[in-house]
Structure 1
């Protein structure tokens, strides 16, 4: 929850950063972009390190880095130190897959489903609560207070983890694949920079095309290398197994569906009425969006029970269909504040079901010694979905604008198109989830997650 809180921490003051830091808008945009890039790179790496050296040990280091980054950002008065601090916060977000993977090592099988559902739900809760909390703090205090709050949260979590999380006993050993780390970092950086900054640089600019295509080439070379190395950073043969591959593809689509709503609705709520918006202030708009995270949290015990009764595959399909239903309402019904509230609750319920199912599907299909790396890669896939959603929605909204007081603002048609993209992503997620094959037993598979051969999961 603390790690995901960092994703929405800067949203309330993002437009004010150029003035606050006396820097260009292009420079201050890196305060958001750097966290995305670093977390995407560090998430699969931290998962692999957790498998090798112990999930608790690596998680403690990452939370320490997150706390340090928050302090650096809290004392910053210029763009450079703030970007460095935000990058360190991105490193700390690698704790997310470790938090899920450690459950497989320590939880009783009867409590596994509910535990995974609860921890997975906190990813949405942190992001949903982060927006109104950040808006409230920035309206009543200096913006630096946001990062002092983040540092305090990280330190509290660090102490609680050291006190209550048991040391990992299941480790894979091996060595650090430095070439794999460098190759993955370089490839992902190129692709993610092209996706996240392409709207500002121009989608056909040399920078966007060069970074995007270069990143793809590097990732292809990285994949070829990983198939030949003895101790790969990511075991692509395991990742290519049917259950893991299809779950990861569904995760990309579900990440897109989640983030499309997170981008569209806050803007729609805050835009002036003459531009087709609802003219709400930042805090009231944040409170309308917030229930999606609370719905995820409320759904976690239900998802845990359904996970045991239905299995993860039907749960993932159902979650995607619930999200699709929310988007369908958004496309058909005129959007008022109360309608947006209901839609966000539906999206939160669907994400709560889907996020509970995905880690279970992945962990059932990989050896117990590779759960950290596998969950890290799955988290990366979700991140690719959210990054793609941010770029796609921004591009759609920029193509449909209206002049209001000399300012170009998105139109109702632009928002409708963006919502249709979210609907399409949710439907794609449901289709991909329905195609996930049953997991087969493999050497080293954890006994608390036996292969599920119920008919609903075939």
Structure 2
């Protein structure tokens, strides 16, 4: 621990970090439930309104490594406050009755909140004793799961009762609250060496991540097919150039020796495979419960009711996040990851075999929430094994990008599988398509467990 703080101050700081992370997760979940309402109010196509979510994910992924590198030096507190301040400004812009352009600028600024999470974990690792730090980091990591269950029904209710801008206005108030809490509680960093920012590397990584997210999260770019292929090609070229730049610059955005020659690479690979599987199932479940009953299956839940169905998902995710540190101590982090992966497979099996029952589908949703929460909680422990404290925020920022990319790919794969299974000009695929699509999660989960099971070497 690099800071000497009292037990009472540690408790206060731990609680503050968790609250800020949870508020940020709710803000991040504002976009998805409001896409349709934004399209209707602004009179724009649904594909255009989809950018209110895609742009948030993209801006978070692009800026996370830069924020992580800034957080590795003496300006961590300033970085957290400025980032949250910009998120608050973005929330204000989304609440204004303005054009789609203003709304997208606001949503882009709100995406900076995704890059604050690794900084909060770094603050916990540096300023809390080891057990409290591990519990705090686990809870922060699982906050995104809890935030989904809070944001979806809450935003759906506000949208129906008071309108789109009031729902966005709540995001502004939450981000303002998070900024004030951070201003009062986040301590200054003890690291005194200024860390130069590799702007070239940041630009190349940003282009690569942005291209990849657009290709997987915006199906419209594949019409025509050559456009989607061109975007993927540009992303691949940017990643290749970024690798060359990072290996040659004296102060890289990401230390590739640490990233490639350590357990970090395996943990990120497992996170990608697991993230695709988890969000594939999540997308299938949320879409299934909203399918009208006159299609021959489904339960026809409204957006608000479907959001309420996510409450057990978040509640069990939070429970998993709290018990995971103790489970990892009594067994091992790798065993804990495997246990939660088995829970995800159980959710897949329940959904595939008993989708006719709403109770069974909600049980599958709950099991999935427990598994997602557990894997989110144990992943920082896995990825940070042997990593120097000075690199905490940078390594976690990359892991955050990997997780967001996995979630985006999983959502896109779910939509693609169901689209292929829809016959002719039909609106809904057959019920069997959901069960068959869910089974695609199994090899991904097995792959992630196999990657984690590889014997680990000390970080050099």
Common fold by TM > 0.5:
yes
Matches within 5 A, 1:249-264: 249-264=269-284
Q: Measured at CA, do residues 122 and 167 of structure 1 come closer, stay the same or move farther in structure 2, by a change above 3 Å?
A: same
Q: Counterparts of 1:112 and 1:308 in 2: how far apart (Å)?
A: 14
Q: Counterparts of 2:243 and 2:73 in 1: how far apart (Å)?
A: 20
The aligned counterpart of 2:204 is: 183
Structure 1: tracts of 5 or more residues without a match: 443-458
Contact 1:62/1:93 (<8 A) preserved: no
Matched, 1:376 2:397: yes
Q: Counterparts of 1:102 and 1:203 in 2: how far apart (Å)?
A: 45
Matches within 5 A, 1:3-152: 3-152=24-173
Contact 1:264/1:415 (<8 A) preserved: yes
The aligned counterpart of 1:242 is: 262
Q: Counterparts of 1:372 and 1:146 in 2: how far apart (Å)?
A: 31
Contact 2:354/2:361 (<8 A) preserved: no
Q: Measured at CA, do residues 172 and 293 of structure 1 come closer, stay the same or move farther in structure 2, by a change above 3 Å?
A: farther
The aligned counterpart of 1:272 is: 292
Q: Counterparts of 1:61 and 1:41 in 2: how far apart (Å)?
A: 16
| Deviation at residue 3 of structure 1 after TM alignment | 2.2
Q: Measured at CA, do residues 16 and 152 of structure 1 come closer, stay the same or move farther in structure 2, by a change above 3 Å?
A: closer
| Deviation at residue 148 of structure 1 after TM alignment | 1.1
Q: Counterparts of 1:206 and 1:92 in 2: how far apart (Å)?
A: 33
Contact 1:364/1:439 (<8 A) preserved: no
Structure 2: tracts of 5 or more residues without a match: 1-21
- Structure 1 residues 173-208: Cα deviation after superposition (integer angstroms, max 9, x where no partner): 3311111111111121222211222x2233761210
How big is the alpha-carbon RMSD for the aligned residues of Structure 1 and Structure 2? 1.9
Instruction: Provide the aligned length of Structure 1 versus Structure 2.
Output: 438
Contact 2:298/2:356 (<8 A) preserved: no
The aligned counterpart of 1:455 is: none
- Structure 1 residues 159-186: Cα deviation after superposition (integer angstroms, max 9, x where no partner): 1111122222135533111111111111
User: Runs of at least 4 residues of structure 1 off by over 4 A?
Assistant: none
- For normalisation by structure 1, the TM-score amounts to 0.91
Q: What secondary structure is seen at the aligned counterpart in 2 of 1:274?
A: helix
Task: Find 1:201's aligned residue among 221, 225, 243.
Answer: 221
Q: Measured at CA, do residues 125 and 320 of structure 1 come closer, stay the same or move farther in structure 2, by a change above 3 Å?
A: same
Q: Counterparts of 1:411 and 1:137 in 2: how far apart (Å)?
A: 33
Contact 1:195/1:212 (<8 A) preserved: no
Q: Counterparts of 1:56 and 1:407 in 2: how far apart (Å)?
A: 53
| Deviation at residue 216 of structure 1 after TM alignment | 0.4
Q: Measured at CA, do residues 207 and 171 of structure 1 come closer, stay the same or move farther in structure 2, by a change above 3 Å?
A: farther
Q: Counterparts of 2:406 and 2:26 in 1: how far apart (Å)?
A: 18
- Structure 1 residues 182-239: Cα deviation after superposition (integer angstroms, max 9, x where no partner): 1111121222211222x22337612100010111011111101100100000111101
The aligned counterpart of 2:241 is: 221
The aligned counterpart of 1:352 is: 373
Contact 1:132/1:286 (<8 A) preserved: yes
Q: Measured at CA, do residues 53 and 439 of structure 1 come closer, stay the same or move farther in structure 2, by a change above 3 Å?
A: farther
Contact 1:312/1:361 (<8 A) preserved: yes
Contact 1:44/1:376 (<8 A) preserved: yes
Q: Measured at CA, do residues 254 and 144 of structure 1 come closer, stay the same or move farther in structure 2, by a change above 3 Å?
A: same
Contact 1:288/1:337 (<8 A) preserved: no
Contact 1:365/1:439 (<8 A) preserved: no
- For normalisation by structure 2, the TM-score amounts to 0.90
